[in-house]
Each structure stands twice: as structure tokens, then as C-alpha cells.
Amino acid sequence: MSEKQSVTLAAPIPFEPVRASDIQQAQAQISAVIAPTPLQFCPRLSEEAGVQVFLKREDLQDVRSYKIRGAYYAVSNLSQQQRAAGIVAASAGNHAQGVAYACRTMGIQGRIYVPSQTPKQKRDRIMVHGGDMVELVVTGSNFDEAAAAARADAAERGATIVEPFDARDTVIGQGTVAAEILSQLTSIGKALETIFVPVGGGGLLSGVASYLADMAPRTAIIGVEPAGAASLQAALDNDGPITLDTVDPFIDGAAVKRIGELPYHVIERNLGRIHVMDVSEGAVCTEMLALYQNEGIISEPAGALSVTGLREMNLSPDSVVVCIISGGNNDVLRYAEIMERSLVHRGLKHYFLVNFPQEPGQLRHFLNDILGPEDDITLFEYLKHSNRETGAALVGLELGQARDLDPLMERMAQSRINCQHLRPGTPEYEYLVS
């Protein structure tokens, strides 16, 4: 079965709307196993944004992600015949943990496909939750390739696919996040005015939108996508789901090439209350670090999408805003890259290709006369040794403040040393730096 055929077969036809009553039923069904997560007021973000910001802590789920809701609800609805045939799932990591948890809890054999870029931390947690009831298969360079392999396997063996976002039961299960939020706000005498929801395949956004359409129709819903994988905006521009040519895999929990068919239909029907935006991967890294340093929240990249979107919206002063921290499965080994991306985003980290004339004192001149007092060399690597007149070096600089860049560039322009600023997104930057 080809990937194109797999995507076509996965489309739920005909479209059946998801109602608040469906979500309430799911909430009752899974409540004995999945406990509500805290809704925490965040003083720092509230003061900075001028609104009342509450964080929905889905990173505190047993599998550190909201994905357990849709996965467990979907698996619990399978017939005995479907369970006996075994289940197959594809995931970037979080849905897989929810499926693995359900497999072990219900005694069902499962095979889970994840792409090669899934962090080791997520792979390890899948096996912890699934134990000997789960087999893990690593294949493909992104979620969509892993999903194609999973569907082909399920078709060959007659197993049951548990979709991560493009299935009605999954969407209904994810919608229980919104049901909890409204209940928690009501208990403290507040009404939800705006909610920020991370977007990958669209399961969470469509579940939240379905519940709020019935129970809080005046609430504004902001769907936040990573700029490197904005499949929802592409679908809206195309009047239907379309497969992106490439995605940036960094925000692995939301790096999906094609929005789900069912989520798209739900979102399209609620466009009057949904605003879609995208944020850069570097901005997400900055918010991840801020959450960790200030609130002690270990968020994965996708988990910080909502807070990143909050930064870019003008909201009514003192309004009640909820940001869903969708997951906390972040590998500690990634923090070096997270720091790097954040520094570049904030304008503090820059790379230059510097051609030093092969004359005495040129490096001293660069250090004393070109660099500012707070500029720090973080990388110095000679790239070429055969040219006797100049010596090229890749130089990474961390500035004390972003505004120090313009004076630095002026001093470089006035010097005999030729300095080329390498900018993110250019071929030179990707080749020499990335």
C-alpha cells in the first residue's frame, strides 16, 4: 500500500460532528484511569501579557502528554475481536506512550511505529509504559513515513490501527481537556475567554473546538503551529488538507506533513471562533527555557507552542486565558540545541565567515578592535589552509545584547578583515553551521 493510498484511506467518510455530549461521555469513561491535570495560574506570564494566564498542565499526565486521553478512549472502545487481532499505531512519541499504556492496562498486544527522529527519551518511555505487550519499530525520517509503514503492516496482518489524531474517538478523547478546563475555571468563578492550543495533526484543536462550540461558544480559540510544519494553515489556504513537501522535525510532537481529514473538517466548521498562527522554532526554544527557569516546568517543544503564541497576540486586558502545556517528554540531551536556537532567535548568537589576511597581528586586531567588550567567541574553526594570502575561519559570537550587532557590523565594515555574516535559512548557514 502506498503512502498516498494510506492517507486517502485514513479519511473518515462521511464526516460526523463531535458534540460536547460525546466528550462528556468519554470523560466519564476514562475518569477511573486518567486523573484530571492541574490548571495553574501563572503570575509571571500574567504580568508580562497583562491578562490572567492559566496553564493546563498536561505534561503531568502519567505519560507526560494529553495524548493518553484519545489513545486510551479509542482503545477502550475496540471490540473483543479487534483487541484479539492486535493493534498498530504510528506516533512521534506521545501518542505511542498512550497506546502503550492502554495495551499494558488492557492486556492487548500492540506494535508501535515511530520515526527515527523521535528522541530516545520518548522511545524509552514507550517501552516502560508498554512492557512486554508492545513492540517498538523505528522507521522513516518523519511521522508520515512511520504512519505509512504502520498502515501497511495493519492491512497485511489484519490488525487495528489506533490513529493519533485522524479518528473520531481520538478527537473525542482529546476534547476532555476542554471539559476539564471549563469545570476548573467555573469552580473558581471564572469564564474562559481565550485558549491557546498547540497544533500538529489537529486532534487536540478539533476536540477542544468541538466542546467549546457547544459549551462556551464565545471563547476565542488560537491554534498555534510550528513555522516549520504549518500543515493546518496550508490546508486552509488550499481549501483542504495538503501534504507539505518538507517539515522541520525539531518540534517533533507537532512535525506533521498533513493535517488530519477529520480535524480539518471540525476546524473548518469552527473558523469563526478559531484563529490560526505559526511561531518560529527559535521562539519556542526561548519559551521552553523560560518555563523551566521560572516555573520549573519541563516542557517538550510542542508543549511550549501555546505559550509562544501568547507572546504574539494582543488580548483584552485582564481577560482569562488558558495555555495548554501539551507535553513534557523532552530529552535532556536536546538542551544544547535548545539553547543554541533560543540565542539565535533572540539575536544574541551570530556566525561569521572571517577571511584573515595572513599577516602578523590580524587575530589580535580582530579581538581588540572589532569585537565589543561583551562579545564572546563560542566557535573558532579554520576552514581552509592552502591559500597563502588569506585564512578563512568560521567564527561564532555570542553578544551581550542584541543591539550590539549593528556596532559590531560597522567595525567589521571598517576593518581590512573581510567578514561575512551567515544568516539562518541561507545555504551558507545550513552548510557551515547546521
Distances (CA, A) of 272 to 78, 217, 284: 34, 10, 27
E-strand stretches of 234-375:
274-279, 320-325, 349-357
Under 8 Å between Cβ of 306 and 323: yes
Q: b/e per residue, 217-240, with b = 16+ CB within 10 A?
A: eebbbbbbbbbbbbbbbbbbeeee
What are the catalytic residues? 67, 326
Element counts in the chain: helices (H) and strands (E):
18, 14
CA-CA-CA-CA torsion for 243, 163, 137, 326, nearest 10 degrees? Answer: 90
HSE of 316 in the Cβ direction (CA atoms, 13 Å)? 9
Nearest to 266 by CA among 307, 220, 311, 208: 208
Q: b/e per residue, 374-393, with b = 16+ CB within 10 A?
A: ebeeeeeeeeeeeeeebbbb
- Phi–psi pair at 348, nearest 5 degrees: -100, -20
> From the CB of residue 368, how many other CB atoms can be counted at a distance below 10 Å?
9
